[in-house]
Structure 1
Amino acid sequence: MNKLITAPGRLARRMLPFRRRPRAGAELPFFAVPADAISVLPDPAAFRQELLRLIAQASRRIVIVTLYLQDDDGGREVLDALYAAKARQPALQVSVFVDWHRAQRGLIGKQKSEGNAGMYREYTARLGPGVDIYGVPVQNRELFGVLHLKGFVIDDAVLYSGASLNDVYLVRHGRYRLDRYHLLQHGGLADAMAGFVKQHFIGSDAVQRLNVAEVPSTKSLQPAIREFRQELQRLSYEVPQATLASGEVAVTPLLGFGRSDNTLNEVLLDLLRGTRERLIVLTPYFNLPRQVRVLLGQLLRRGCRIDIMVGDKSANDFYIPPGQPFKTIGLLRYLYENNLRRFVRAHRRQVDSGQLNLHLWRDGDNSYHLKGLFIDDDVAVLTGNNLNPRAWSLDLENGLVLRDPAHLLRAKHEAEWAALRRHATRLADYRALESPRRYPAEVRKLLRRLNRVRLDRLVNRLL
């Protein structure tokens, strides 16, 4: 009955054009960062080179926050650099924060092991103390949420990327996983991001060192993890009320955690609502939260042009090459492709007219991991948020909102977008995607089983 009563109002809100409103995010506090202190790095090789350069030159602090620091050549190269920097500068504070669960398991599909934490302990035993590596348990189990904060703070520099640290992200052996890479030189922003993790992570009983001989069990930490999770939902970065001068860009770091009162989610939705003419969405997995899908539909009805770039099925990091044994995790890329097919079919009129452009990225056997937004010519969002239901409600996320009313960064953003499109193809029609009838037999069988019991929706939310 209530739904019937409210139906006319809900229908009107969907059909009527947006009310004109002030530019979204205008009330956010911010750091005033000179535009020439913000750089866009072109590729994974430049990211690796800049990260190692910053570590080698560090004099006061190195605070690295990432999903994982892998036990492979890329991860060891970074650890070697951290220990070398500490040896050169004994007073240097070096802290690394990784996801607690991800650090203590082997790779999916591989034999059971002590995970990356074994490498951390081996380095400490061989080279001694000085590099503190912490595991951050956002949830009791990895399936229900991980540490997905991003940002490498080295002295007064913030190197921000959605990339983790391993061979493929650091393009160590030919193959790469493409992300976005931005360098912001600003002491206040660096202090806020480093200060947050030092104050709230190191100060929590749930966050424990991983490169020590005795590591507590997850079970013993469950009360502390519960308390930590409740605290995270109340936290935010400390950001001043600054004034924007000529030549400066407003940069706001935001935190996001939980289904409700999630500041990052709320600001992203507000920014999307405020789009005037043009929106570019970057996401590695086409699995948009419902609120985002609804807003995209409203923007299209309003006449905005939307470009969405996503990785081709073969550029997904869950891709299993032909000839290798099929694993259930490989089903995900087919689920994402089905999501994309439904979206394109639902908006085929806008696709045909060029108002909606879906770009599929593919470059050989490399993979795609881009996230973020470009809104009109004056707002950009740098984030590790995958713009999927898991990021929206389970993982601990962050992002940087860049507001640029004077269009000082427009040339850099246009160059970044042009470079990304070099390996992308516009999807002209949903029929250009592989038909589900041509999927491998194991995939067709699993998809039928999931669809029969509606488990595909649950999988989309969790993975």
Structure 2
Amino acid sequence: MRIPFIKYNHQKYLNELVKLEQQPENYQILATPNEYRQTLLNAIKCAQKRIYIIALYLERDEAGQEILQAIYEAKRNNPQLDVKIFVDWHRAQRGRIGEGMADTNAHFYHQLKQQNPEIDVAIYGVPVNRREVLGVLHLKGSIIDDTLLYTGASINNVYLHKLDKYRYDRYHIITNPILADSMVTFIDQQFLTYEAVQRLDSDNLKTRKQLKSAIKVFRHHLAQANYQFKGDSLNSSLSVTPIVGLGKSNQLNQVIHHLILSANEKIVFCTPYFNLPQIIIKDIIRQLRKGKKVEIIVGDKTANDFYIPEDQPFNIIGGLPYLYEVNLRQFIERLQPYIDKEQLIIRLWKDEDNSYHLKGIWVDDEWVLITGNNINPRAWRLDLENGILVHDPKQQLYSQFRQELQQIRVKTLLVNHFQQIQASQFYPIQVQKLINRLGRIQIDRIIKRLL
């Protein structure tokens, strides 16, 4: 049953969450996508009992081929390995946004299966809704043996820095048997028992029309699902809590809301797209009025994965980074007095033509949320999201979390005034026309809720 947002003792809400004890020596934060790629490949090579890869997509490029070939090789060397890969059903059967239809990822999976008929590497498509624009598999965290590799990154050249460009994310490696088991059990019970979840490496893929009813049943089920585990940790020790959510009032949304309002001193959070749900904007303003310090690290519009350089052909999806920047400028202008007092800190991340995909929340050096949730209206209502809430009351991981934040800040520009953000009248003509046209028919609100 969905729980409505209610007035609550926010710290009490967090304290009452069921938690799993975590040994600090079994928690590692990696700094770069290349380091994460090497760690993932090594974990696959050394796997003894299971490999569960979960991502929005696994691309048919060099990085995707490298990962899949490593998985096939691991399965060949150890036939007893339980190997399953889960990606979004819709995304796997189309090209990238703005590109024409070419060979799809699903076709790539089928080709690999045909080339390795004696090896069963199961690749499943998960349709969270009947259309991609209405919801995707945004669940994060791959499980290899008893280790969770948690990142917001999907699997392709840019996310894993296989070639010249990279997309910056967070990379947390958590060894915890109970945590790993709970996440595998969720996948096995909540995905594999439903008709909507289909093999993508088959030569006889079902159509959306054929799965329409099954997807409706599946989405209704997912809205009620959660991780199942027996807590073994008190609030006095280092712990982790896996959380999953689908729909407006899900548990993950509740945790984000209460986490922000539980802060006694400071909140730091990252989002790649400045398109915050109204409840989060209200929570931030409420904390600022109480004297709390808030730091927001967001990607520059040119570090947005939807950004299209001005020398390339423009399409409607390329307008999104500009719409998000308009949001940011208005937000800063509204709260400029708090910036003047250095109570509200806004940082823009930019590193040449690389992109930024970080998300998460740090509160009072005690709570940290790692998540794939973009903290935007789409994540809040449509996509299947999850996260790991870390409680660190003794600050046993403090140095790692501090170093992670320091590393993120290195490539950022501090915004001291809203006029540092480019005004829309200076955007490229095509972008100005698009924003004006969308604004006249108020469709920009709908777009920002869906993308």
TM-score (norm 1): 0.94
Q: Which residue of 1 aligns with 2:3?
A: none
Q: Which residue of 1 aligns with 2:80?
A: 91
Within-5 A mapping of 1:58-457 = 58-128=47-117, 129-244=119-234, 248-260=237-249, 262-457=250-445
Deviation, 1:245, is 9.0
Q: Which residue of 2 aligns with 1:37?
A: 26
Gaps of 5+ in 1: 1-12
Say how many residue pairs are matched.
445
Residue-by-residue CA offset, 1:33-78 (whole Å, 9 max, x unaligned):
1111111001101100100010000010000110000010010000
Residue-by-residue CA offset, 1:184-203 (whole Å, 9 max, x unaligned):
00111000111111111111
Counterparts of 2:234 and 2:288, CA distance in 1: 32
Instruction: Pick closer, same or farther for the CA change 1:194–1:340 going to 2, 3 Å.
Output: same
Deviation, 1:259, is 2.0
Q: Secondary structure at the match of 2:14?
A: coil
Q: Secondary structure at the match of 1:360?
A: strand
More deviation in 197-206 or 52-61? 197-206
Residue-by-residue CA offset, 1:384-430 (whole Å, 9 max, x unaligned):
00000000000000000001111111111111100111100111111
Deviation, 1:24, is 4.3
Counterparts of 2:10 and 2:326, CA distance in 1: 35
Residue-by-residue CA offset, 1:291-313 (whole Å, 9 max, x unaligned):
00000000000000000000011
Counterparts of 2:299 and 2:112, CA distance in 1: 36
Contact 1:104 1:117 in 2 (8 A): yes
Q: Find runs of 4+ consecutive structure 1 residues off by over 4 angstroms.
A: 18-21
| Aligned-residue identity in percent | 44
Contact 1:24 1:273 in 2 (8 A): no
Contact 2:252 2:387 in 1 (8 A): yes
Counterparts of 1:224 and 1:281, CA distance in 2: 37
Counterparts of 1:338 and 1:23, CA distance in 2: 36
Counterparts of 2:385 and 2:11, CA distance in 1: 26
Q: Secondary structure at the match of 1:25?
A: helix
Contact 1:437 1:444 in 2 (8 A): yes
Residue-by-residue CA offset, 1:115-156 (whole Å, 9 max, x unaligned):
100100000000124110000000000010000000010000
Counterparts of 1:255 and 1:206, CA distance in 2: 19
The one-letter code matched in structure 1 to 2:241 is: T
Q: Secondary structure at the match of 2:386?
A: strand
Contact 2:10 2:259 in 1 (8 A): no
Contact 1:284 1:310 in 2 (8 A): yes
Deviation, 1:318, is 0.7
Q: Pick from 6, 14, 24: which aligns with 1:25?
A: 14
TM-score (norm 2): 0.97
Residue-by-residue CA offset, 1:258-278 (whole Å, 9 max, x unaligned):
123x11101111111111110
Counterparts of 1:61 and 1:134, CA distance in 2: 16
Gaps of 5+ in 2: 1-5
Instruction: Pick closer, same or farther for the CA change 1:245–1:147 going to 2, 3 Å.
Output: closer
